[in-house]
Amino acid sequence: MHPFELSRPLRLVQITDTHFCERPGDILSTRVDTDQSLRSVLDTLHYREHGCDDVIVTGDLAQDPVEGSYHRLRHALNGYPFRFQCLPGNHDDADLLGAALPGGNVDCPKVLVRHDWLLILLDSSVPNEPWGWLADTELALLEETLSRHPAPHAMLFLHHHPVPVGSPWIDRIALRNADALFEVVARHAGKVRAIVFGHVHQEFEAERAGVRLIGTPATCIQFAPATERLVVDDLPPAYRWLELHADGRVDTAVHYLDEQALRATG
Ligand SMILES: [Fe+2]
């Protein structure tokens, strides 16, 4: 038996849609300060997630994609004892993020190998567009990594949702070439266990051809499900934990911050 199987599953945390501003501030005039809400989430992780192997940050890291936002965000993340692995969303400038954000415990890798698992971080952002698209280079990287690497299980991360979540306004800005993604995934049936995303600012789970499709609420504001137009929900900031087992099983749940955690940094 692999020694890893004897000890414990891989433990990940996903945080998403931090929407960090150039200066501390809110988004959509909600009075939710995105600096403060992220700090509440990170403090909660520090308290609850000691055994976390990696924190995956799935896009919309910045509200304003300028150097200052990324520098400030890196500084905020540097204060916590986690490895942060980041990918861009529609609010980000992918090139700028790649240049300005990494440093210390913050990085933007494409592929991570963790014991029996491949973690693949895809860039679905399109400059100046809210919807998503996986460029040929991203699809080729996915295909090649899944083909060549011997790890038996894979989890994919990207910003945009690859299936409708049930709100017309947000489904118009989904991943627009999801079929191309699912074609690659189908060629590696049984290996890709889950596709994990942000962007929808709400909890979501579905399944397609044996692959779990998992959406996660933001570290700032949430969107109400099943709405014609954008409606801000009254749910608090949240994160998702994921346990990836050696046999390919995935356990996961969303943790919403409670009043006490919000007050502690409020
Ligand atoms: Fe977002």
pLDDT tens digits, one per residue of 33-55: 999 999 999 999 999 998 899 99
Q: How far is the CA of 248 from the centre of ligand 1 (A)?
A: 29
Q: Report the candidate in 94, 194, 103, 171 with the shortest Cα–Cα distance to residue 138.
A: 94
The pTM of the full predicted model, rounded to 2 decimals, is 0.96
- Measure the CA–CA gap between 49 and 31, rounded to whole angstroms: 28
pLDDT at position 265 is 62
- Per-residue pLDDT reduced to its tens digit, 236-246: 999 999 999 99
Is pLDDT of 186 > 80?
yes
Q: How far is the CA of 65 from the centre of ligand 1 (A)?
A: 13
DSSP codes, 90-131: TTS-HHHHHHHS-BTTEE--SEEEETTEEEEE----BTTBSS
Is pLDDT of 6 > 60?
no
Is pLDDT of 28 > 90?
no
Q: How far is the CA of 155 from the centre of ligand 1 (A)?
A: 21
Mean pLDDT in residue range 199-223: 97
Q: How far is the CA of 134 from the centre of ligand 1 (A)?
A: 18
- The single residue listed with the structure tokens 């895809």 is 122
Q: How far is the CA of 214 from the centre of ligand 1 (A)?
A: 15
- Measure the CA–CA gap between 122 and 129, rounded to whole angstroms: 17
Going along the chain from its start, the domains and CATH numbers come out as: 10-265 (3.60.21.10)
pLDDT at position 259 is 77
Mean pLDDT in residue range 243-255: 97
Q: How far is the CA of 218 from the centre of ligand 1 (A)?
A: 7
pLDDT at position 3 is 46
Q: How far is the CA of 19 from the centre of ligand 1 (A)?
A: 7
pLDDT at position 262 is 78
Is pLDDT of 204 > 60?
yes
